[in-house]
Every structure is written in structure tokens, then in C-alpha cells.
Amino acid sequence: MSSVKNVIQDSYKLMLLKDYLRTAIKEAGFSEVDIQKTPTGTRVGLHVTRPGIVIGRKGSGIRDLTKVLEKDFGLKSPQISVIEIPRPELEPSVMCNRMSQHLARGTAFRRAVMWTLQTIMEAGAMGVQITISGKLRGERSSFEKHSKGILPRAGYQAGIVVSEDIVHVETKMGLIGIRIRIAKKERFVPEFEMKARKAEPKKVVTEEKEVLDESQIDHTKPRTESEEVELEEKLIEKVETFEEVEEELK
């Protein structure tokens, strides 16, 4: 088999794997997967918002997932590592999944768009663009594009700063596509900037360990993505759309 066919086949398997993980560990807030082939096997890095759901009780979730990856996807001796996402609101795949759940629950698409834009910008994004297409209002398909902040469209910076993801959701009206592009400030590299070298502070390591008791644990924090979406639905109802603002100005 030629090298071109190998690349195509590997890309196709990776696409199928991402589709499976997006559904299998949806409640864990799946973002992306990294695969590295080693002489002893395959390293699989899963980027999620809630690692505990993937690991499972006493590692049962990892063991079951390892068997699936080895049997169904042909990965040789997969070694899974779970990586927690520090700021899930800046991950396009996570926000695409949350927005798709809102639309599947019957939330008006413009309210979902406005809420997602606001959430991403408040998390510290440099810019965001959301494109939604499909049968939004009636039988005829249409699309809308909403943006906030600064979002590079082309060039070297756009390839580094901007990350995007696309997801499709089935609603009563039909199939709707969602595309979210997010520009992150920390990836932006200004041209011709002189940076002074700062002395790094010395790290002091002590033997004291902080122990959390039950009173310090926040039990009100959502444990799964579905619980997160349910809490957001109450807040989305308060979001004003362009149509409501126009009615108030009349």
C-alpha cells in the first residue's frame, strides 16, 4: 500500500474514532484525542472536562474503553491517558456539543447562539464566530453567522490562534449544522515585540499537604455535561435576542 493510501486510511480511522468518543464519553465533555504510535503500543490522550467519568470506579471505564479501542479500531496495545481541560469554554468541540444539546432540547437557536457567544467571550477569548445552518425557521434552509471580538480570517496567525469544530444535531425541523471558531489570546504572537527576560522566582517545596474535608467540596457543581446544560437552560431564557430588542424599540 502506498504512503498516500496509508495517510488516507489513518485519517479515516481517526475520524471514526472521534465520532465514537464524542458519543461514548459525551458526559465527560470530550474535546479531542491525540494518538502516538510507539514501539510498545499506542498512546491515546483524551482531552476532557471531567476525567473522573472517563476513568470510572477503580479504573473500570479505562479498561472497558481500552478493549473497545483495541478490538473495534485496531489500535495495538492502547495506553490511555486522561487530560483535563482547564478552560472548557475556550474549546470549540465542547461548546459545539453543549450548543447542540440546547437545540435538541428545543431552545431557540438565536438564544443558544447569543448565550454561547457571551460564555466564550467571558471566558477570555480574543474572538469567536458561530455559524449555524439548516432548517432554522421553516422548510427552506438558511444560515446565520454571528461574531464577537477579533478573529483572524487568514494568514499565519489564523492558523495558530484560531481553532474550530463542526457538529450536526437532529431537531424537529431537520438537521442543523453548528460551526464554532475561537481565537485564543495566549496563542497570539505580536510581530516585532521585544520581551525583557525576567528572573524566575524560586520555587519552595514544603512537605505540608492540603487535605480537603467534605465541607470544602462544592456539591452544587455539575458532575456531567447534561447537568451543565440543564443549569444553562434557565439562564438562556433571560438572554435577549435581536428580535426582542427590535420589538422594544418600536
Q: What is the 3-state secondary structure (H, E, C) of 180-248?
A: EEEEEHHHCCCCCCCCCCCCCCCCCCCCCCCCCCHHHCCCCCCCCHHHHHHHHHHHHCCCCCHHHHHHH
| Average pLDDT of span 6-26 | 84
> Which of residues 19 and 207 earns the better pLDDT score?
19
Where do the structural domains in the chain lie, given as residue ranges?
Answer: 3-84, 88-192+225-244
Tell me the one-letter amino acid at 65.
L
The answer to whether the beta carbons of residues 145 and 131 sit under 8 Å apart is yes
Winning range, highest mean pLDDT, from 8-22, 43-57, 195-209: 43-57
pLDDT value for 241:
63
Check if the beta carbon of residue 206 is closer than 8 Å to that of residue 78.
no
Query: Can you give the pTM of this predicted structure?
Result: 0.75
Write the CATH number of the domain with boundaries 3-84.
3.30.300.20
Residue 212 has pLDDT above 50, yes or no: no
pLDDT of 210 strictly over 50:
no
pLDDT of amino acid 179: 95
Between the CA of residue 79 and those of 15, 65, 76, 82, 92, what are the distances in Å?
A: 19, 10, 9, 10, 26
Question: DSSP class of residue 87?
Answer: -
pLDDT score of 130: 95
Contact 155, 103 (CB under 8 A): no
Tens digits of residue pLDDT in 37-94 = 888 888 999 999 888 888 888 888 889 999 998 888 888 888 899 999 888 899 999 9
Strand pairing class (175-184; 125-134): antiparallel
Number of other CB atoms surrounding residue 80 within 10 Å: 20
Length reported for the chain: 250
CATH 3.30.1140.32 holds for 88-192+225-244: yes
> How do residues 146-186 score in pLDDT, each as one tens digit?
999 988 888 777 888 899 999 999 888 888 999 999 998 87
